[in-house]
A and B are shown apart, each in its own frame.
Chain A
Amino acid sequence: VPCVSGDLPKPTNVAFISINMKNILQWNPPEGLQGMEVSYTVQYFIYGQKKWLNKSECRNISRTYCDLSAETSDYEHQYYAKVKAMWGTNCSKWAETGRFYPFLETQIGPPEVALTTDEKSISIVLTAPKKWKKNPEESSISMQQIYSNLKYNVSIYNTKSNRTWSQCVTNHTLVFSWLEPGTLYCVLVESFVPGPPRLTHPSERQCVSTLEDQTTALEVK
């Protein structure tokens, strides 16, 4: 049943939230209608093409987000999206995003960080974050394949000396040797891509202890 357009205020703060090319359209309920039984419908547009397209899974929905990752997966294209609110027989005008360019605007998630230690060293193996994919069976695409200039800022905190230092690397394995035995070190890694300003996502801080000094351990026995 067609609704009377314009009687409702529009949804607000309509924007894409994008991490590793997982592109979610998010919005806030119209002013004054929070908590009411409002439903929403979403459409999207590929810049340079001809018409607005429907997203069937986001027609008459009550949630205030819609996953458009599949529809916006060609990251070299640019997109618009819009959403309108419906309540009873009334509906709002469309609320539209600005032009969304996944290649420039997606946030780069942190790499996976694997730490192994021995007496005096910590080996760090980084695995580049993965691009969003539709089905788990699909083969993964690393964000490194998309951003060849992807770098990592590795910072290491020595809990005994209370000192932190950093290193910017492009390779995926690094070893900090000659560390102090029996000492807790904490590592934090951030992905970084030169280009327009992007929000960053540091990894979870991981702490690991170097083994006790074996020579003193033997003497004690």
Chain B
Amino acid sequence: MNYKIVAITEAVILIAVTAGFAVYGMYFTNQPIRLSGAGATFPAPLIQKWSAEFKDMTEVQINYEGIGSGGGVKQFTEKTVDFGASDPPMKDSEFSATPRTLHVPITIGGVVPIYNIPGIPKGLNFSGQVLADIFRLNITRWSDPRITTINPGVTLPDAEIIVCRRSDSSGTTKVFTSFLSDESTTWRATYGAANVINWPSQTVGGKGNPGVATAVQQNPNSIGYVELSYALESNISYGTVQNAAGKFVEPTLETLAAAASAVSLILPPGDTSWASVGSYFNLHNVEGADNAYPIASFSYILVYKELNVRSGMTLEKAKALTWFLWWAVHDGQHYASGLSYVPLPQAVVTHNEATLRMITFNGQQVNDWT
């Protein structure tokens, strides 16, 4: 009956060890402050980097789940998280459901046309109109005069264009199709702008940025669109896009920051609806946006203006949350370019400072950072 003794001993040891860990966890460590957030997948790596660094500094633990912008707004509206995150700002209907919401832009995203044409390096010129015509399969060959006239000196092959795009529901598609809708009335009338649109049936859909990038890399003479950070980090050719000032601008961290600086002049106050900012920065009537890349947008953290609406909120937690956000828009920005994110320009940081000063808990300002 040896095995019985062994089994009992093992069970006892197992229980003792588990109980030991539990007791250790309960009595011998400080209860850390825990905060939870959920939302967009695009800024998730940056927010997770921030929470790791912030935990080293302060012991405050921030759990962020990248579940998608739609889910982020939903959970934020239902008050099941301490903060939400979304790529597009809240729609007017969503904002009126939770009117005391603060929009805090935390980083900038950009959508980039990528292509694979044998022998053609990066830097092919595109205008919004040409992109719209390509993606609705009205321009079907690379040698089409509409493409060649804006690319003087480049010999493009007389080959059929294979159009690749996102198959999953995606904010990247929303940003890109919003841009196309503003640039082409035909596009607006036929396809519109949404996370999922009714693409022409001969286009190839890939799941996620990697899916589109792989489809483009595998199909000669293809075109697609991906998030800028993805284009920068994968070895793939991407084009320049004509902006509102008529200049063809290469997408870089700098030209995206230039777009954000330009738009910062027309940003609404943090506690009002940001729906007017739209899915991407429409800089058609903005001065001084010559070097701005045209398909750029913010990614936002959503915070309750009065934090006591979230159950379980304490003054201690409220202080930790506001401190984290303040740190994220200031020192946290240093981590951005290392991860191919665009750091916020100073004008936007100043705008965010005013927004974060509005946060209250039980009617009292949480932090004034004077």
A and B from one complex = no
